[in-house]
């Protein structure tokens, strides 16, 4: 494998690391929002419209699932790329 190809793989790997970090940060934020929402529900459910509360909570949960799916895909690609990099040395 040429050094250009190796550099390409390392560049792709670095990009995947950045994407992974971004998704992890987004998941941390999303999880905090979910916990805050649950806390608000526990304390104020009696004065809130429950259908709206449930919809909002489900949207947060769907967002969390979407981020987890994206994170999984990035980690899978990173693993495949790591294997290709190890084969090129």
Considering only residues 87 and 76, tell me which one the structure prediction assigns the higher pLDDT.
76
State yes or no: pLDDT of 1 exceeds 60.
Answer: no
Q: Whole-model pTM?
A: 0.84
Average pLDDT over residues 13-17: 97
State yes or no: pLDDT of 4 exceeds 80.
Answer: no
Domain that holds residue 23: 3-88
3-state secondary structure the chain: CCHHHHHHHHHHHHHHHHHHHHHHHHHHHHHHHHHHHHHHHHHHHHHCCHHHHHHHHHHHHHHHHHHHHHHHHHHHHHHHHHHHHHHHC
State yes or no: pLDDT of 2 exceeds 70.
Answer: no
| pLDDT tens per residue across span 16-66 | 999 999 999 999 999 999 999 999 889 998 898 989 988 999 999 999 999
How many domains would you assign to the chain? 1
């Amino acid at each position: 494998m040429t050094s250009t190809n190796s550099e390409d793989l390392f560049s792709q790997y670095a990009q995947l690391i950045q994407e992974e970090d971004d998704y992890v940060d987004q998941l941390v934020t999303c999880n905090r929002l979910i916990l805050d929402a649950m806390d608000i529900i526990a304390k104020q459910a009696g004065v809130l419209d429950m259908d709206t509360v449930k919809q909002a909570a489900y949207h947060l949960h769907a967002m969390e699932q979407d981020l987890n799916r994206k994170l999984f895909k990035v980690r899978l690609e990173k693993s495949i790329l790591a294997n290709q990099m190890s084969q090129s040395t």
